[in-house]
Amino acid sequence: MAQRLHTNDRPGAWCVGAKNVSFHMSERMSRRRHPLRDRILTRIARGELASVREIMLVASIPRQTANRWLREGAIDLATSRLRLVAKMHEQEELYLASRSGMKRPTAAQQRRDLAKSVRRFNAANAAKAIESRPAREAGRKSPQME
């Protein structure tokens, strides 16, 4: 006698006893993901792709699939694109201000820079000190040496 496994099963999901339970479970397994899905979602989250049309062209997928990926990833195209535009704007402002926008230097890098600056400073002042000394006569002792 055929019986339903659960009340929420499809009308055609009949089996005898509980022998075919695994069949129904495998029938409901999700399909394999598209191989580009994660890469495309990463690009979308970074703001590299600005529209569903661009997603369709890059991944060669239908519009419905692109919209489903966006919905599943909880990604807002406009927000992610504006975040990228803001980042590019900040980079251009740093360029105009002649700053690189690089991260803060490490403590070791600061020590190296300080040592380099001190060497440059000492070399420049030593050269100035030699230039500013009066020419001494040969054999004449300075008052400090006496």
- The answer to whether residue 46 is domain-embedded is yes
Residue 64: give the domain boundaries.
Answer: 34-127
Both tokens assigned to 36: 């580009």
Tell the residue number behind the tokens 């400073």, with chain if given.
Answer: 121
In angstroms, the CA 53 to CA 38 distance is: 18
HEC secondary structure over 120-137: HHHHHHHHHHHHHCCCCC
- The answer to whether residue 87 is domain-embedded is yes
- The answer to whether residue 139 is domain-embedded is no
In angstroms, the CA 55 to CA 134 distance is: 77
Q: Find the helix packing angle between 52-59 and 63-73, rounded to 10°.
A: 110
| CB-based contact 49:40 (threshold 8 Å) | yes
- The answer to whether residue 28 is domain-embedded is no
pLDDT-based confidence at 71, cuts 50/70/90? Answer: very high
pLDDT-based confidence at 63, cuts 50/70/90? Answer: very high
Number of domains in the chain: 1
As a whole number of Å, the CA-based R_g of the chain is 37
- The answer to whether residue 83 is domain-embedded is yes
Q: What is the pLDDT of residues 4-62, one digit of tens each?
A: 555 555 555 555 555 555 555 555 666 777 888 889 999 999 999 989 999 999 999 99
CA–chain centroid gap for 86, Å, is 14
- The answer to whether residue 95 is domain-embedded is yes
Q: What is the pLDDT of residues 108-137, one digit of tens each?
A: 989 999 999 999 999 988 877 777 766 555
Q: Which residues pair with 15 in a beta bridge?
A: 3
- The answer to whether residue 60 is domain-embedded is yes
| CB-based contact 4:14 (threshold 8 Å) | yes
- The answer to whether residue 21 is domain-embedded is no
